[in-house]
Amino acid sequence: MSTQGYEDELQSERDYVGGLYTRLDAERARVKAGYTAAVRGTGETAMERDVAVRARAREAKRLDVADNGLCFGRLDSVSGEPSYIGRIGLFDEDNGYEPVLLDWRAPAARAFYVATGARPENMRRRRQFHTRGRQLTGFTDEVFGRPGGDEGGDAALLAAVNAPRGEGMRDIVATIQGEQDEIIRHEHPGVLVIEGGPGTGKTVVALHRVAYLLYTQRERMERHGVLVVGPSPAFLHHIGRVLPSLGESDVVFMTPGDYVPGRHVTAEDTPEAARLKGSLKVLDVLAAAVADRQRLPEEPVSIQLRDVQVRIDAETAQWAREEARASGLPHNQARAVFTEIITYVLTERAIARIGRGWLTRDDRQEWESLRSGLLLELADDAKFTATLAELWPVLTPDFLLASLYESPERLRAAGADQAIWRVQGDAWTVSDVPLLDELVDLLGEDKPVDKTAERERRAEAEYAAKVLDTMTLDREEMDEDVLLAAKDLLYAEDLAERFVERDTRDLAERAAADRDWTYRHVVVDEAQELSEMDWRVLMRRCPNRSFTVVGDLAQRRSPAGATSWGAMLERYVPGRWVYRALTVNYRTPAEIMGIAAAVLAEFAPEVQPPDSVRACGVQPWSRRVTEHELPAAIEEFVRDEAGREGTSVVIGPPGVPGAVPPSETKGLEYDAVLVVDPERILADGPRGAAELYVALTRATQRLGVLHQGPLPPVLAGLKEAGSQAA
């Protein structure tokens, strides 16, 4: 194409994209008007208004995210028909709702991502737009079916991966690659495992798969939402903008320390304690710890009732305990069964003594009258109440688990390893959270649930709603009672809303606050770190077992984590999980990946490192410093990087000033990385080698290493430098 031809074509495309933005603005104005009307809605119930308001708000969010990069390309079929591909779909209402912009998730848009010179998918040309905000600045064409037709096809991809990193992960909606697209559109209804080495884009692919599923299965998924589980708050912050940028907001983000609402735990256990708590064997410990609280009296307990004395003996308590356990109810609910048996025995014994010589069972009325009085006495008897609390106490997960950890005797009684003992029982760690969640089900409610008030509230709300409906009728059709009610309800709508507790939180807020909420789909990132107990929690959260699992077994650092996907998943979804691998590294340049691959070969020689899609032309370097020189060398790196565009980080073991540990950088990426004291990181054995592998593969452009001792042989490929500038 000549220069003039390119400029003419560019102007034509600018006009078309400008027209798309005009449609977007008009659509946004229409939705805004609909939102305002829904808020002011009259003649509708409060619930109907809430539904309308929320629907308009979701639609407005979907349109708002489309402002930047609304249209990012065009497909021309062999028949000459062009299709424009974008972040959302737009239609021509005046022309039979013909699509003027295809949503990237639509089936017709798939060729934009998968067409190649060898397999053009019936397409003649792919055009990728370069934009800045709403401005179309240029385009790159890839023409299929001619020699060299694939040349330049990676231009948009290389521009994206070479661009400086900003705050947070970016979506890849404009540059999805073929192997990524196949996974994103995978329709498997069970568990899809996506494994890939560093930089293969497995996280962003999983998030785009969520957006795709929400697009194709909106009705099934939107009322329950999606849960995304990541390894750390920093990681969740890093990925948190991807789904909103794709127009999806009904998503809850949490770490394994957030499983229980209202609790945010980040502290970690020792490796041995984490291994023990993460194993399913701990279920026997928890069950035994609960059973240990269901006690029998060592000596009979005497209770004074009227003129007689009765005793709670071991035999009675044994019968009550067996019946309560056999009920299958959680501990706190089974307490009612235990109490019922105890009170039955005590009242029977008391009645038999009180009525000796004059009362028989044939006199049921007198017998039950005596029983009622005795039950009232027992309810007010402090000794009886205290005895029940000792034999079958009401328990909370926090109290039971904390008191278990603090007591070597209780640990022995529960068959637990003493390695989980600690002085402060409630100094919670991430490994404790699945146990606390498990105990919610084992123990049940810690107090009776009185639903009387709820029933009364609903009845009042229904009555108020009926009056509201009646107020819309012609007054001549109202009977006298209704007219009187209407006079009393001058502000009937206000009364109805007073009775109806309207939950104005959005879906994500409601789901995050509800431990019993179930999701339609769950994404688990860095899944190799999750323990058997973690998986047990997540399977409860998603009964239909629809998961996207993302991980890399070679990067596992947790002793309780997965050693194979089958060993972890077959228990829950036998035959219902599939495996897909990503093999291309889009993040780490070849120069850096060569260094990291040597570390990988040292601790996981059977694992093939991903192939880097690019080189950056900058060799990673190492520099030996003394303990005295180390702080200044770190400051030099930070100062140099502050003058560059992009992001940087210092990674090192505990004690290095200004450094973060490798574990906190999992899933993150930076333009420049400085790794400090690799010899100390490696000293942690196989786990340390995996940590160093993670640290080295965070960089997208530049990598430096500072070492105080001899450089570990596994890093021999680094260029020795006298300073960072070298």
Binding residues for ATP: 196-203
What is the C-alpha end-to-end distance of the chain, expressed in Å? 43
CB atoms near residue 105 (< 10 Å): 21
Give the DSSP H or E segment for 547: strand 547-551
DSSP 268-305: ---HHHHHHHHSTTHHHHHHHHHHHTS---SS-EEEEE
Instruction: Say if CB 526 and CB 231 are below 8 A apart.
Output: yes
Instruction: Say if CB 197 and CB 552 are below 8 A apart.
Output: yes
Alpha-carbon distances, residue 662 vs 171, 359, 402, 619, 650 (angstroms): 24, 79, 30, 22, 10
The DSSP output letter for 73 is: E
| Angstrom distance (rounded) from CA 381 to CA 575 | 57
Instruction: Read off the tokens for 342.
Output: 């105890």
Q: Is 479 exposed, middle or buried (0-12, 13-18, 19+ CB in 10 A)?
A: exposed
112 CA to centre of own chain: 30
Strand partners, 549: 193, 524
Query: What are the two backbone dihedrals, phi and then psi, of residue 330, each rounded to the nearest 5 degrees?
Result: -60, 160
Instruction: Say if CB 417 and CB 277 are below 8 A apart.
Output: no
Q: Are strands 90-92 and 98-103 parallel, antiparallel or unpaired?
A: antiparallel
User: Can you say which residues are annotated as belonging to the binding site?
Assistant: 196-203
Angle at 667 between CA 592 and CA 696, to 5 degrees: 25
CA dihedral 602, 606, 612, 615 (to 10 degrees): 30
Q: Which of 611, 667, 664, 562 is CA-nearest to residue 191?
A: 562
